[in-house]
Amino acid sequence: MDVNWFDFELPERLIAQTPLADRTSSRLLTLNKATGAIAHEKFERLIEYLQAGDTLVLNDTRVIPARLFGVKPETGAKAEVLLLKSLGEDRWEALVRPGKRLHVGSRILFGDELEAEVVDESEMGMRTIRFRYTGIFNEILDRLGQMPLPPYIKERLDDRERYQTVYAKHEGSAAAPTAGLHFTPDFLERIRAKGVTIAYLTLHVGLGTFRPVSADTVEEHSMHAEYYRIGEETAAQLNAARSRGSRIVAVGTTSARTLETVGQRFGDQTIEPCDGWSSIFIYPGYEFKLVNAMLTNFHLPKSTLVMLISALAGRDAVMKAYAEAIEREYRFFSFGDAMFIYE
């Protein structure tokens, strides 16, 4: 399957640079995957598309201030480190810049309280970093680190919490599950009052969010593994939803990938509390095991995220919906507007 099949022209001005002041004031494009019908709404009208008995699944990961800026002590040259995954014992998988000058043995200083050494390296700027410090690492990271906004966002975010969902709980992500940024506690309560079950899972977002598809065909691309966890309460909620035949609605592609990883893991058997690593890559031709509907933001051309929603709603329907979104100047990606795929 040619990667260019998922290409489209996106004016740069439509890539949202800042979050809206009111989380629920974004726009909502709805796409009925059965009929192809498209509608344009305010985000708050999502509640009208949800049904009593639905299970709305949210990713409660919390973004860490994973971007660090330091210098090489030997030369004073600037260096940047983006933490992606904790490997234990003060070691982290990370992206570094400039990758051509940071090899095994290279040291980076971040002020007087934190030092990093490259202990292993692999392709695409990937490194294994070991830290040395005095004190509590998370407190140091909170002081020195910056929120890891995607590279296409040029403006600095003064309020870190605007890049967190209101239900963010478990620290570990290098990027926010951005479909969840639209929700407020009040709106979630209104959804719950309608009879919708709200369930939480955790997937710590890593390299897959930043890594473009560089292969010529979809099948040649491989996803980076990310840690996930499904707790006892969520497992029970998912089993109950399946037993009564009600919809499971994923909020964001991270929730969708976690649900489908769990769906493949347990098949038709009872879902149990579990954790593990997900590297699932969903593109057209995939048959969904758990996800019936999805809330998502608008994604970049030729991204794995566009491929995932095309698997759920059909590539032609998605491209038609995106064309309308571009024509009506919807805001795209992390701080953008929302899309609801349902039937």
Same domain? For 256 and 321 the reply is yes
**Percent of the chain clearing pLDDT 90 (strictly above):** 78
- pLDDT bracket for residue 208 (50, 70, 90): low
Using the 3D structure, point to which of 144, 167, 191 is the last residue of a domain.
144
**176 pLDDT more than 70:** yes
**Would you list the DSSP string of 126-187?**
EEEEEEEESS-HHHHHHHH-B----TT--S--S-GGGGS-TT--EEEESS--GGGGG--HHH
At 209, is the secondary structure helix, strand, or coil? helix
pLDDT digits (tens, 9 = 90+) for 25-78: 999 999 999 999 999 999 999 999 999 999 999 999 999 999 999 999 988 999
Task: Assess if residue 153 is contained within a domain.
Answer: no
pLDDT digits (tens, 9 = 90+) for 81-106: 999 888 889 999 998 888 788 899 99
Task: Assess if residue 280 is contained within a domain.
Answer: yes
How many domains does the chain contain in total? Answer: 2
**79 pLDDT more than 90:** yes
Same domain? For 15 and 138 the reply is no
- Is this model's pTM higher than 0.85 or not? yes
Same domain? For 173 and 214 the reply is yes
Task: Assess if residue 149 is contained within a domain.
Answer: no
Highest mean pLDDT among 136-140, 148-152, 183-187, 222-226: 183-187
Contact partners, residue 187, CB within 8 Å, separation at least 6: 23, 24, 44, 47
Give mean pLDDT, residues 302-326. Answer: 97
Task: Assess if residue 35 is contained within a domain.
Answer: yes
Same domain? For 166 and 184 the reply is yes
Check residue 101 and give its pLDDT: 85
pLDDT digits (tens, 9 = 90+) for 219-276: 888 888 899 999 999 999 999 999 999 999 999 999 999 999 999 999 999 999 999 9
